[in-house]
């Protein structure tokens, strides 16, 4: 076994020990096939008001511009699929499963730093940066290139063995590692996600108009939600899981074992009336360390009011 393969094997073992469900490796170079796709997507305005997507175009495509001397991109997946008893009541308003517990950015970033320290302890002087949905980097493209799954028709990364309910994170380092090979697409003729999308945001297979997505409206959009989308939200007040819930591959999803991602007890019995009565103080207490903080109290109340007047 050459040194690159030996180090790759070591890193994967360390990642598994830290609770990551999968780890794959790519050579850090220019994502040539992604450049025209990203440019076209932006020109067509499918990013809506997410102006940050227009910035750092080159960095999104080349990790060597993010990390000096970058040689390898280590992509990692972390499960967030909740157990049946750890969910919001089915007749309540809905929030995306990834936001049930503590903010994933911090939880996973802490694990990534631990992984980097383990690598430095075992191998020696290795430099790099950790990324969890917080920098100009195309996570799904790197995970796909690293053999961790394929980007499906709903534009989510999907794994045959585990579905798609996982966070994607990266560790970009200046260490030469043996790269993994991409897998193949297994969406076949299925169009379940396209057919089920409440706002028809999946405008064609493998193409999402982000400016029509319920997640965009409930999280990214700062203005009022357009009335044209009334009666299309199906009770979603933060994010949306419809295109994942209907994906046949998610029948293989298994509950995570991360206590920090569990739904607070108080929310398990929340009814629609409780959401309407939510005060700013209760919001601050319930979602103190949650990704839901992103909408702020005003944004979440806007979302609740929008769906509550749907007929």
Residue 25, beta-bridge partner list: 74
Which residue is catalytic, options 29, 62, 110, 133? Answer: 133
Cα→Cα distances 144→82, 93, 95, 257, Å: 24, 33, 27, 25
How far the first Cα of the chain sits from its last, in Å, is 63
- List, in sequence order, every residue forming a beta bridge with 172; answer none if it has no partner: 73, 129
- For the stretch 206-229, what's the b/e string if a residue is b when 16 or more beta carbons lie within 10 angstroms of its beta carbon? ebbbbbbbbbbbbbbbeeebeeee
Burial (CB count within 10 angstroms: exposed 0-12, middle 13-18, buried 19+), residue 205: middle
Taking the C-alpha atoms of residue 164 and residue 202, their distance in angstroms, rounded to an integer, is 17
Instruction: Give, for 293, the enclosing helix (H) or strand (E).
Output: none
Reduce the DSSP state of residue 22 to 3 states and report it. strand
Who contacts 306 (Cβ-Cβ below 8 Å, separation ≥6)?
225, 230, 233
Known catalytic residue: 33?
no
Question: CA torsion, points 72, 244, 158, 220, in degrees to nearest 10?
Answer: -20
**Cα 153 from Cα 145, distance rounded (Å):** 17
Among all residues, which ones are annotated catalytic? 133
């Amino acid at each position: 076994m050459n040194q690159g393969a030996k180090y790759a094997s070591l890193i994967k073992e360390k990642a598994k020990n830290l609770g990551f469900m999968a780890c794959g490796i790519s050579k850090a170079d220019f994502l040539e096939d992604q450049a025209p796709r990203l440019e076209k997507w932006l020109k067509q305005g499918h990013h809506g008001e997410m102006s940050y997507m227009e910035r750092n175009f080159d960095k999104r495509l080349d990790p060597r511009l993010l990390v000096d001397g970058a040689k390898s991109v280590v992509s990692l997946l972390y499960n967030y699929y909740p157990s049946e008893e750890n969910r919001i009541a089915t007749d309540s308003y809905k929030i995306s499963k990834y936001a049930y517990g503590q903010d994933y950015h911090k939880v996973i970033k802490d694990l990534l730093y631990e992984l980097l320290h383990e690598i430095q302890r075992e191998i020696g002087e290795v430099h790099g940066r950790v990324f969890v949905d917080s920098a100009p980097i195309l996570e799904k493209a790197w995970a796909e290139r690293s053999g961790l799954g394929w980007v499906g028709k709903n534009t989510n990364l999907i794994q045959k063995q585990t579905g798609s309910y996982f966070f994607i994170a990266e560790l970009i380092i200046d260490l030469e590692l043996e790269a993994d090979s991409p897998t193949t697409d297994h969406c076949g003729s299925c169009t379940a996600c396209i057919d089920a999308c409440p706002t028809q945001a999946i405008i064609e297979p493998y193409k999402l108009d982000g400016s029509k997505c319920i997640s965009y409206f409930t999280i990214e959009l700062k203005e009022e939600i357009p009335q044209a989308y009334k009666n299309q939200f199906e009770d979603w007040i933060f994010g949306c899981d419809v295109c994942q819930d209907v994906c046949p591959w998610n029948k293989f999803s298994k509950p995570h074992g991360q206590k920090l991602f569990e739904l607070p007890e108080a929310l398990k019995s929340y009814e629609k009336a409780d959401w309407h009565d939510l005060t700013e103080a209760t919001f601050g207490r319930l979602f103190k360390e949650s990704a839901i903080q992103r909408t702020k109290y005003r944004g979440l109340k806007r979302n609740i009011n929008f769906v509550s007047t749907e007929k």
